[in-house]
């Protein structure tokens, strides 16, 4: 993958796993200040998620790579992001901007990690929307995922 250098996040966990994913999605930003982004258009998003923990599961994984792909790439690929229930065209905290999509990816992943016995955590979501623009989302320390 082209964009393979990501900002690293400091932590004290023994294991750190990173998963790269990409998905093609359409979106629009429903606000007049968004300019041309108010018109529906598409991006090939590149996401990198960082998961860490001290314990492995019964298969020797921190978390199954495939389950991460299912939660993110398979969910959003070839869809209009605004159509997803998790986004809301009436509330700027839920417009499908790069920032909100990155946070949403974090929330989906952490919700899944919370069901695992070995309790891994998602420390960072890197989301590139264009060759020149990306967002990094990091949850506040000690903050649990909103379910």
Q: Which residues are catalytic?
A: 37, 78, 129
Cβ atoms of residues 125 and 137 within 8 Å: yes
Four-residue CA torsion sign, 88, 94, 100, 102 = negative
Vertex 18: Cα angle to 74 and 24 (nearest 5):
30
H-only helix segments in the chain: 65-71, 73-76, 98-113
In angstroms, the CA 86 to CA 28 distance is: 15
């Amino acid at each position: 993958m082209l964009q393979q250098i990501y900002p690293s996040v400091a932590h004290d966990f023994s294991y750190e796993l990173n998963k790269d994913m990409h998905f093609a999605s359409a979106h629009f930003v429903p606000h007049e200040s968004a300019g041309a982004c108010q018109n529906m258009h598409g991006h090939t998003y590149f996401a990198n998620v960082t998961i860490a923990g001290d314990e492995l599961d019964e298969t020797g994984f921190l978390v199954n790579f495939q389950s991460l792909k299912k939660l993110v790439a398979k969910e959003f690929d070839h869809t209009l992001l605004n159509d997803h229930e998790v986004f809301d065209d009436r509330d700027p905290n839920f417009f499908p901007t790069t920032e909100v999509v990155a946070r949403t990816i974090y929330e989906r992943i952490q919700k899944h990690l919370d069901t695992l016995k070995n309790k891994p955590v998602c420390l960072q979501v890197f989301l590139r929307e264009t060759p020149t623009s990306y967002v990094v989302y990091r949850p506040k320390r000690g903050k649990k995922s909103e379910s």
